[in-house]
């Protein structure tokens, strides 16, 4: 699953992060809420990100 943009992407990210929480329990509900509040276009350079992140239009751009 690779969300790309808009509200649907936010929902997809929420699902991904919830699954991560279920598997690792390293993300609190508060942290999940704060991350999901960030608009997708601000994720790439966001100071709270923990891993490298690059937003691509589609798989060809990757």
Contact between residue 49 and residue 59 where contact means Cβ atoms under 8 Å apart: no
Structurally, how many domains does the chain consist of? 1
pLDDT for the residue 1: 46
Report, as ranges of residue numbers, the positions in the chain whose pLDDT lies below 70: 1-7, 21-26
pLDDT for the residue 45: 86
Residue-number span of the structural domain to which 42 is assigned: 1-62
Q: Which pTM does this prediction carry?
A: 0.46
pLDDT for the residue 23: 66
User: Dihedral sign, CA of 28, 7, 42, 19?
Assistant: positive
User: Dihedral sign, CA of 45, 46, 48, 53?
Assistant: negative
């Amino acid at each position: 699953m690779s969300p790309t943009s808009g509200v649907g992407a936010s929902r997809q990210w929420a699902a991904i992060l919830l699954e991560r929480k279920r598997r690792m329990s390293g993300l609190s509900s508060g942290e999940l809420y704060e991350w999901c509040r960030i608009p997708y276009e601000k994720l790439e350079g966001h100071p709270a990100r923990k891993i490298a992140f690059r937003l691509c239009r589609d798989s060809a751009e990757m």
